[in-house]
Amino acid sequence: WNTESKPNYGRSDSYRVATTQDKDDRSPKKKKGAATKDMDDLKKEVPITEHKMSVEEVCRKFQTDIVQGLTNAKAAEFLIRDGPNALTPPPTTPEWVKFCRQLFGGFSILLWTGAILCFLAYAIQAATEEDPAGDNLYLGIVLTAVVVITGCFSYFQEAKSSKIMESFKNMVPQQALVIREGEKVQINAEEVVAGDLIEVKGGDRIPADIRVVSAHGCKVDNSSLTGESEPQSRSPDCTHDNPLETRNVAFFSTNCVEGTARGIVICTGDRTVMGRIATLTSGLETGKTPIAKEIEHFIHIITGVAVFLGVTFFILAIILGYSWLEAVIFLIGIIVANVPEGLLATVTVCLTLTAKRMAKKNCLVKNLEAVETLGSTSTICSDKTGTLTQNRMTVAHMWFDNQIHEADTTEDQSGASFDKSSVTWIGLARVAGLCNRAQFKAGQDSLPILKRDVAGDASESALLKCIELSCGSVRAMRDRNKKVAEIPFNSTNKYQLSVHETEDPNDNRYLLVMKGAPERILDRCSTILLQGKEQPMDEEMKEAFQNAYMELGGLGERVLGFCHVMLPEDQYPKGFAFDTDDVNFQTDNLCFVGLMSMIDPPRAAVPDAVGKCRSAGIKVIMVTGDHPITAKAIAKGVGIISEGNETVEDIAARLNIPVSQVNPRDAKACVIHGTDLKDLSQDQMDDILRNHTEIVFARTSPQQKLIIVEGCQRLGAIVAVTGDGVNDSPALKKADIGVAMGISGSDVSKQAADMILLDDNFASIVTGVEEGRLIFDNLKKSIAYTLTSNIPEITPFLLFIIVNIPLPLGTITILCIDLGTDMVPAISLAYEAAESDIMKRQPRNPFRDKLVNERLISIAYGQIGMIQALGGFFAYFVILAENGFLPSILVGIRLNWDDRSVNDLEDSYGQQWTYEQRKIVEFTCHTAFFVSIVVVQWADVIICKTRRNSVFQQGMRNKILIFGLFEETALAAFLSYCPGMDVALRMYPLKPTWWFCAFPYSFLIFVYDEVRKLLLRRNPGGWVERETYY
């Protein structure tokens, strides 16, 4: 990357709108097919030609009349031909497909296999035996129920979150004023057809793409389409070949800010410019969310283990001489034991809980999995307007009395104030208040001034609010100084003036006030007001003015100059007829009062939030359609370009050398202009993104935003994009997580986003990141907890098959653990507080930091799980021994034990047992094993609370977890002691002492893990950490 190749770098003048022109020039070098198609489509010239036609031609084309509009019959005909004027919602997956996905995705396939094997086994039994045992049928039904219920649960969770989105769709139908058969009628915007003659006025949303035929001071806000924040005027004349830039076309879904216009509808629905972008956006493919990848990875591991063990033991069983039927039943048991049935539901619930918590903090999550994505975000591409800034022009600085004064720009007016006692200031305030057409809308007296709605353009509103805040009611001021004449702002004069009566009833002079572009104002002034005294404008003052103007302009602020003059009474007596068309009064030799500069100031919470992002290792990139100077000023203001960091241009300016001589590596920050961006190759782009920590992209077009996002993703970053306009939506969709603005955001952007910031505040993203990181940690804990109990579930089966002991734990009891007792504690871990400051560490590396890694498996399966299994087996041996079957005779007893025809099986004490009698003991063992797992899981949930800290450091403040401990114990007791359970689930009451069998093992788990964590903390980076820190 060579700076020489970019002569325009950082140039602040001559920024022409960069919309389609940029797109056309971009060389097509995209690798993915889908992306290429999208890009090509975007690049296509907007197929509107009507702006170049005369009004008559347009009328002819649409068979309409310039006065009468369409006939009702024609309108109806067109409506049938073109369909309603609405954007086609993005293709949604049919509900049944979604449902099936839940029903057959994840572990469900494995469980379905289990269920089918159960039914198969039962069918074989039914065919071969006279009185088949219902066990397999029963288990098959239970498994089916489990799959269906968890499937339904996930489906409804998903449906719920998609419903939230639907609530965002505007339910109130938009209205449009059309003229048909010469009559003005208010109809639903959906019924507008091409050729309709419509009327829009300030405040309306434009219902379709229209060719303007007449306009009165009409200005539209195209920001949602182009990102251009400045309102643009509309008139019937074609001013540009490009339909996006010509003045005589107004676009669907943009807003008319002021004035009125009448036009002919040329495109409706999806054929509008907005519709095209929306369709493109919905066609953009999005990758899987990181958490979805993690869960898939995890499902693969577990499924792999389950299938491997199942098949191994199936073959082993056949070799050991078991019948096919028995081998199949073992297979089912192993599958059921291996699959953490409740885990996916737990993950869904955990994510839902976090999503709810985030919604409380103004982050609305549309897609559950996006909850975590924000946590792994390593780059945030933030839009400027509205997200980083308040989206409200505010007076930031003033220059009067040859001094720059700072105005308070904070949202709550907590900032510093300036000296308001100067006479010059009073003069300046009077000019700004009087020479101003903006006014507060009625009925807002109770609202704070800054919150009030203003009718008028952004600069005038800013002035109005500033004056209202510092000098009291502007309305009263205007009442005291009646306006007698006015020349509105126009682009040739570049000024606005008005003539007023004075406040003093005895003073019959008129006051002329003027504001406008500072250099034009200065040209008309011969004197300057200093400390309330008029003094001649000398060269020194002119230079001071130039310096101030440059300084304020350098801050990215829009500067206006103000001047006034008291018209001499002899020339302009009371009642003088001021002619504003053919100016018959003095407009030069005025008295310069001061400058006021405005900016859309950063939100108060943003600098702090950007700082947090930085300490959390997240790179914040500003991507804006605004001017580089303004962008840079705001970037510096909010810390995206941090203090002391310089761009190449800054270094060049400081060292007074040409930009080309500066080593680009010396500059950490850079501001890149959209026109330069389009000349960059992919490598240069990567180079910029890699080598600069603080980047601002200014004057970017929608596709460039897309390119920036793709560039970051190419470097392995997980990218969050914020934006509000339609122009942002492709980037929002492409990003790993798109964040739309709830207040200012357009519908299309909200549709494309995964998350919506209800308060439009960048700081909310930081909260989201924090929550996302927390849930990732907590999901790890939750999964570690749930997976651990797989070992005590699977080992009974293995020993049953290998050493022929009576089955220690049945399939039904396994389901009771997975779907019963384990659920609440696992979910409660989602409420666990963070162990350390999670905003102080780097974002996780999606390639290295897995949700489930080998260390987690090692701990859960190899260590804690084994201790748990021993606890369960101990309880099992205790029960059998205390009932007469000592461990020594158990090995190999299974053949007789499970033989229905053996009804006098002898135990160690010579007692003889019928089949049913010993089965009751066996089921009591299952119950005891189950209770033992609950007991060891107490310890497990407590150790899973933390990954590094001791429980004594973390405390037991998680109330849900404490509830979970009691809940699982109560549930276990209920399952054991509730009458009828012996029939329903074959669980039997335990003697109280049997509850305590697993206690030593529970204690061992706790001690073992505390010691492990102690070693882990003592030796950071040591062997214990490398092998066991998950």
- Only one of the segments 449-457, 621-629, 647-655, 860-868 lies at the binding site for other proteins (rule: CB under 8 A); that segment is 860-868
Give the total residue count for the chain: 1030
Best CA proximity match to 672, nearest among 661, 680, 663: 680
DSSP state letter for 978: S
Cα–Cα dist 687/683, whole Å:
6
Pick from 915, 963, 996, 1006 the residue near other proteins by CB under 8 A: 915
Q: Reduced to 3 states, what is the DSSP secondary structure of residue 173?
A: coil
Closest CB 932 distance from other proteins, rounded Å: 12
Best CA proximity match to 988, nearest among 940, 916, 935: 916
Annotated active-site residue 408? The verdict is no
Residue found under tokens 């990141």: 769
Pick from 359, 881, 960, 981 the residue near other proteins by CB under 8 A: 881
The continuous run of DSSP H or E covering 149 comes out as helix 135-168
Task: Determine the size of the site formed for other proteins (CB under 8 A).
Answer: 43
The count of other CB atoms within 10 Å of the CB of residue 829 is: 26
Closest CB 988 distance from other proteins, rounded Å: 9
> For every residue of 22-75, which 3-state class applies, written as one string?
HHHHCCCCCCCHHHHHHHHHHHCCCCCCHHHCCHHHHHHHCCCCCCCCECHHHH
Q: Residue 529 in contact with residue 424, Cβ under 8 Å?
A: yes
3 vs 22, 630, 649, 682, CA distance in Å?
20, 22, 10, 16
Pick from 260, 917, 954, 969 the residue near other proteins by CB under 8 A: 917
Of 176 and 856, nearer to other proteins (C-beta) is: 856
Residue 913 interacts with other proteins (CB under 8 A)? yes
- Only one of the segments 163-171, 264-272, 547-555, 920-928 lies at the binding site for other proteins (rule: CB under 8 A); that segment is 920-928
Of 762 and 1001, nearer to other proteins (C-beta) is: 1001
Closest CB 887 distance from other proteins, rounded Å: 7
Closest CB 119 distance from other proteins, rounded Å: 24
- Only one of the segments 104-112, 297-305, 717-725, 873-881 lies at the binding site for other proteins (rule: CB under 8 A); that segment is 873-881
Task: Compute, in degrees rounded to 10, the torsion defined by CA atoms 982, 987, 993, 996.
Answer: -160
> x/- string (CB under 8 A) for other proteins, residues 694-733?
----------------------------------------
Cα–Cα dist 672/664, whole Å:
13
Pick from 878, 941, 965, 975 the residue near other proteins by CB under 8 A: 878
Q: Reduced to 3 states, what is the DSSP secondary structure of residue 217?
A: strand
Of 493 and 858, nearer to other proteins (C-beta) is: 858
Residue found under tokens 């990732």: 776
- Only one of the segments 24-32, 64-72, 419-427, 482-490 lies at the binding site for other proteins (rule: CB under 8 A); that segment is 24-32
Residue 931 interacts with other proteins (CB under 8 A)? no
Q: Reduced to 3 states, what is the DSSP secondary structure of residue 865?
A: helix
Site for other proteins in 508-567 (CB under 8 A): none
Question: Looking at the DSSP assignment, which residues form a beta bridge with residue 621?
Answer: 381, 695
Q: What stretches of 341-402 adopt beta strand conformation (E)?
A: 363-365, 379-382, 394-400
Closest CB 128 distance from other proteins, rounded Å: 16
Closest CB 914 distance from other proteins, rounded Å: 3
From the DSSP assignment, how many helices (H) and strands (E) are in the chain?
40, 28
> x/- string (CB under 8 A) for other proteins, residues 981-1000?
----------x--------x
- Residue 414's Cβ-count burial label (10 Å; 0-12, 13-18, 19+) is exposed
Of 651 and 864, nearer to other proteins (C-beta) is: 864
Residue 884 interacts with other proteins (CB under 8 A)? yes
Pick from 794, 870, 975, 985 the residue near other proteins by CB under 8 A: 870
Q: Which of 204, 383, 818, 907 is catalytic?
A: 383
Closest CB 1008 distance from other proteins, rounded Å: 9
Pick from 118, 147, 867, 925 the residue near other proteins by CB under 8 A: 867
Cα–Cα dist 600/396, whole Å:
9
Q: Name the token pair of 735.
A: 């990003």
Of 400 and 988, nearer to other proteins (C-beta) is: 988
Site for other proteins in 787-846 (CB under 8 A): none
- Only one of the segments 151-159, 224-232, 810-818, 859-867 lies at the binding site for other proteins (rule: CB under 8 A); that segment is 859-867
Pick from 531, 903, 953, 1019 the residue near other proteins by CB under 8 A: 903
Residue 909 interacts with other proteins (CB under 8 A)? yes
Handedness of CA 960, 966, 970, 976 (dihedral sign): positive
Pick from 886, 960, 962, 1015 the residue near other proteins by CB under 8 A: 886
Of 534 and 982, nearer to other proteins (C-beta) is: 982
137 Cβ partners below 8 Å, 6+ apart?
A: 118, 119, 122
Q: Residue 150 in contact with residue 345, Cβ under 8 Å?
A: yes
Residue 96 interacts with other proteins (CB under 8 A)? no
Cα–Cα dist 871/861, whole Å:
14
**Residue 899 one-letter amino acid:** D
Pick from 641, 921, 939, 943 the residue near other proteins by CB under 8 A: 921
Closest CB 913 distance from other proteins, rounded Å: 6
DSSP character string of 465-523? HHHHHHHS-HHHHHHHS-EEEEE---TTT-EEEEEEE-S-TT---EEEEEEE-HHHHHH
Q: Reduced to 3 states, what is the DSSP secondary structure of residue 682?
A: helix
Residue 863 interacts with other proteins (CB under 8 A)? yes
Phi and psi at 249, nearest 5°, equal: -125, 130
DSSP character string of 179-234? EETTEEEEEEGGG--TT-EEEEETTPBP-SEEEEEEEEEEEEE-HHHH---S-EEE
Residue 908 interacts with other proteins (CB under 8 A)? yes
Pick from 313, 545, 874, 897 the residue near other proteins by CB under 8 A: 874
Q: Reduced to 3 states, what is the DSSP secondary structure of residue 800?
A: helix
Residue 910 interacts with other proteins (CB under 8 A)? yes
Closest CB 883 distance from other proteins, rounded Å: 5
- Only one of the segments 269-277, 309-317, 642-650, 864-872 lies at the binding site for other proteins (rule: CB under 8 A); that segment is 864-872
- Only one of the segments 363-371, 576-584, 748-756, 896-904 lies at the binding site for other proteins (rule: CB under 8 A); that segment is 896-904
Cα–Cα dist 203/50, whole Å:
25
- Only one of the segments 233-241, 255-263, 322-330, 905-913 lies at the binding site for other proteins (rule: CB under 8 A); that segment is 905-913
Handedness of CA 1013, 1015, 1018, 1021 (dihedral sign): negative
Residue 887 interacts with other proteins (CB under 8 A)? yes
Cα–Cα dist 648/9, whole Å:
10
Residue found under tokens 């963070």: 834
Pick from 16, 31, 81, 848 the residue near other proteins by CB under 8 A: 31
Of 413 and 903, nearer to other proteins (C-beta) is: 903
Of 131 and 582, nearer to other proteins (C-beta) is: 131
223 vs 391, 624, 735, CA distance in Å?
12, 11, 21
Closest CB 857 distance from other proteins, rounded Å: 13
Q: Residue 193 in contact with residue 268, Cβ under 8 Å?
A: yes
Pick from 749, 767, 924, 1002 the residue near other proteins by CB under 8 A: 924
Cα–Cα dist 215/256, whole Å:
11
Closest CB 654 distance from other proteins, rounded Å: 41
Closest CB 870 distance from other proteins, rounded Å: 5
Pick from 171, 901, 980, 992 the residue near other proteins by CB under 8 A: 901
Task: Please identify every residue annotated as catalytic.
Answer: 383
Binding-site ranges for other proteins (CB under 8 A): 29, 31-33, 862-863, 866-867, 870, 873-874, 877-878, 881-884, 886-887, 901, 903-904, 906-917, 920-921, 924, 991, 1000-1001, 1004, 1023, 1027
